[in-house]
Amino acid sequence: MHARNYRYPHGLVAMAAAGMATIGGCNRGLSDIDRATNRLLAQRADTINAGPIAPVRETPDPRTLREKDQNSMEPGTENPAFDDLSFTPADEARDVAARLDSYSKRALGDGQDIRILTITDSFRLAQRSGREYLNAEEDYLLAAISLMIERHLWGPRFFNDTSATLSAEGDSGNFDHTLGIINSLRTTKRLPYGGQVEARWVWRATEQLRSSVTDQYRQSSEIILGGSIPLLRGAGSVAREDLIQAERNLIYAARAFEDFRRSFLVDIADDYFSLLQTRSQIANQERQIESLRRVNDETQAKVDAGRESRFRVAIVENDLLSGIAALASLREQYILQLDRFKVRLGLDPKEPIDIAPLDFELAEPDIDEYDAAALALEYRLDLQNQRDRVTDGRRAVANAQNNLLPDLDIAGDVAIPTDPFAREGGIAFDPDYTRYSAGLDLSLPLDRKIERLSLKRATVQLERQVRTYERARDDVVVSARSAVRQIDRSRFALTLAEQQVDLNRERVREQRLKSDLVDAQSIVDSENSLLRAENDRDRARTDLRNAILNFLLVTGQMRVAPTGEFQPLPGMMLETKAGDVLPVPEPDQIRPTPGAEGEKPAENPDLTPDAVERMEQERDGGRPEGEQPAPPDAPGAPRQEPEPAPGSDPESAPPGQDDPEQSR
């Protein structure tokens, strides 16, 4: 058997090395993909004037995302039988009040240093670790990835295909084996108005393995340039429909992401305001309980002295117990709201936190409802998406019409091979052996029923998209007008509620001054009315805050900083808030009216029925005819309240003293 000298052609070696380098590059990570994605998102964010809101993500090594049993066909299940479970009955005589108090202390750190979140901190955390925000961010990323895939399909694409075959031919039990290798290195490019072009370098080599003849090894190669272009069906912008739609989809995704950031900020603010409202209700309830306890002690003292019937104590105790139960419910509500708030921000539910008082109030807009609707029609990003999807529908109808045309394509190719008579052609291409071909393909539209049905479907879908846009446009107008009215209604409700609080405070104050003349039921009714007024005021304040933010959202004027904070518009003042809740003063804090001292008013000669009637008339703005105002120090004279300083809020007080939102 003769020794053989196998030849290793340089072209095959070079292409094999390039292929191995490509295989090795597949595992170098996704850092280049991350950089390209981030650049694309930044460009799209700048296109819609959204600022640097493009999410930046670094893809981890896919190998680190594997799990041990990820290929298991039967994942484990934890579902014990009933006899494997246990239940321990609780003692009905346990100190439930102490347990409820411990829950509140545990939620607020049990006296330890806890994390205090301001509303700005909450906005930042929501954008950094909120799961809803991260999901919206990933939707934006996926739209960018889809566009990058489509752009890559329209760019130059390189391929290298290698095939090796072993064939045998038998003759009287003897087989001649032939080894053949074909390598094709090619690049393709789609044309902007239909069709594509391709360039190929094809390398071929064959060799008879058992033959002793030295010239059985043959090698050749050629360069081929070809392409095809549609002239009717598939020609024009319809050829780039996938790319056009992907580009537009990323714009839609950028708008939707920015719109989500704005609505998400309003939702976080709503949760924050609700927490403040619940905490104010807790403070109001605690104030009422303390007041009822004092009334209960006073009524019990009257009963012990024989001045009141015993059932009067039961009236006060009944409302006192109801107030204690309501306080426990409010505390549980606050703990639950706080836990859900932590989950929404992406925090550990076991981490104790609390919220800081709101140190500002938003200015209310001075705008007509029709002007607000005009702003919403111009600025709303979601409405712009609906409007542009109508354009997509019109383009879909045009593309469906194009599919009804005949197929008329022109195609051709040119090949330049090496010398076909040379045993080893190498890469010495010989133009003398060039070959080419050109052709025209025509397919008449004899069967276009599916295409016609598709055109009908596209027309129906366009009509639906038009109606959807019109409905969205009308809804935007309605919501914008409603947002303006809601602000005015909330301000009106807050003004009335504040007046109710003042009236009920004065009512309670008068009853405390004349506690010996007022029965327990009247005092309890006044305390309940004051509590309802305070809660209505806090609810109206929350509604007003939400109404202002919702107005900015529905009119498309809400702006969110790249770090997640709320950005007030130019001319939108942020008013510092010092506190606006004036608690009912304790008895020792009230300056007694001259002549009202003494244990029993009936035994005080200065506090006669005429003096009491005169006090009530002066309180109501009247005075007996012919009588001059009594001196300030005269018995029965009304107490003179100091005039508030010009420009000051008569209900303002130091922070943390009067406002339930700051008292904690």
Write the DSSP assignment of 268-299 as a string of letters. HHHHHHHHHHHHHHHHHHHHHHHHHHHHHHHH
pLDDT tens-digit map of 512-535: 888 788 888 899 999 999 999 999
Domain boundaries, the chain: 157-190+195-233+407-443
CB contact set of 58 (below 8 Å; sequence gap of 6+): 31, 34
Q: Give the range among 14-18, 393-397, 462-466, 555-559 with minimum mean pLDDT.
A: 14-18
DSSP assigned state of 566: B
Per-residue pLDDT tens over the stretch 230-256: 999 999 999 999 999 999 999 999 999
Tens digits of residue pLDDT in 17-44: 555 545 444 445 577 888 888 888 888 7
Q: Residue 2 pLDDT more than 60?
A: no
The DSSP string of 391-418 is HHHHHHHHHHHHTTSPEEEEEEEEEEEB
User: What torsion, rounded to 10 degrees, do the Cα atoms 459, 462, 463, 469 define?
Assistant: 180
**Pick the residue with more confidence: 584 or 115?**
115
Least confident of 363-377, 469-483, 610-624, 639-653: 639-653
Of 395-404, 429-438, 624-633, minimum mean pLDDT range: 624-633
Q: Which residues contact 172 (CB under 8 A, 6 or more apart)?
A: none
CB-based burial label for 404 (10 Å; 0-12, 13-18, 19+) = middle
pLDDT greater at residue 477 or residue 211: 477
Residues in the chain: 664
What pLDDT is recorded for position 105? 81
pLDDT (average), residues 608-616: 52
State the pLDDT at residue 19: 53
Q: Which of 37-41, 618-622, 654-658 has the lowest mean pLDDT?
A: 654-658
Q: Give pLDDT, residue 615.
A: 52
Burial class (CB in 10 A: 0-12, 13-18, 19+), 173: exposed
pLDDT for position 56: 66
- Counting beta carbons within 10 angstroms of the beta carbon of residue 193, is it exposed (0 to 12), middle (13 to 18) or buried (19 or more)? middle
The pLDDT of residue 644 is above 60: no
End-to-end CA distance of the chain: 101
Tokens of 169: 């031919």
pLDDT band at 338 (very low <50, low <70, confident <90, very high): very high
| Whether the predicted pLDDT of 5 surpasses 50 | no
Instruction: Return phi, psi of residue 293, to 5°.
Output: -65, -40
The arithmetic mean of pLDDT across residues 627-645, rounded, is 43
Confidence category of residue 575, pLDDT binned at 50, 70, 90 = low
pLDDT (tens digit per residue) in 178-204: 888 999 999 999 999 999 999 999 998
What φ, ψ does residue 404 adopt, rounded to 5°?
A: -80, -10
pLDDT for 574 equals 64
Based on the number of CB atoms within 10 Å of its own CB, is 171 exposed (0-12), middle (13-18) or buried (19 or more)?
A: exposed
Q: Among candidates 463, 477, 47, 427, which has minimal Cα distance to 222?
A: 427
pLDDT of residue 657 exceeding 60, the answer is no
> Which pLDDT tens digit goes with each residue over 202-234?
998 887 665 545 557 788 899 999 999 999 999
**Among 161-170, 423-432, 456-465, the range of highest mean pLDDT:** 456-465
pLDDT score of 559 more than 80: yes
pLDDT of residue 658: 46
∠ at Cα 306 (302, 309), nearest 5°? Answer: 75
Confidence band, pLDDT 50/70/90 cuts, at residue 621: low
- Within 216-240, where are the H helices? none
Q: What is the distance, to the nearest Å, from the Cα of residue 312 to the centroid of all Cα atoms in its chain?
A: 54
What pLDDT score was predicted for residue 614? 60
- Lowest average pLDDT, out of 321-335, 420-434, 521-535, goes to 420-434
Query: Measured between alpha carbons, how far is 661 from 272 in angstroms, rounded to an integer?
Result: 11
> Which pLDDT value is given to residue 595?
36
Mean pLDDT for 50-75 is 73
**How is residue 238 annotated by DSSP?**
G
Q: Which residue has the higher pLDDT, 270 or 598?
A: 270
**Predicted confidence (pLDDT) per residue in 145-172, tens digit:** 999 999 999 999 999 999 999 888 877 7
What's residue 451's pLDDT? Answer: 94
Q: Which residues pair with 197 in a beta bridge?
A: 189, 227
- Average predicted confidence (pLDDT) for the chain: 82
Question: Residue 573: is its pLDDT beyond 80?
Answer: no
Place of tokens 């924050």: 272
Q: What is the pLDDT of residue 613?
A: 56
Question: pLDDT band for position 343 (50/70/90)?
Answer: very high
Higher pLDDT pick, 596 / 281: 281
With bands split at pLDDT 50, 70 and 90, how would you rate the model's confidence at 51? low
On the 0-12 / 13-18 / 19+ scale of CB atoms within 10 A, 349 is exposed
Cα–Cα dist 263/549, whole Å = 9
In the prediction, which pLDDT does 227 show? 96
Q: What is the pLDDT of residue 618?
A: 57
Both tokens of 295, joined, read: 């009334």
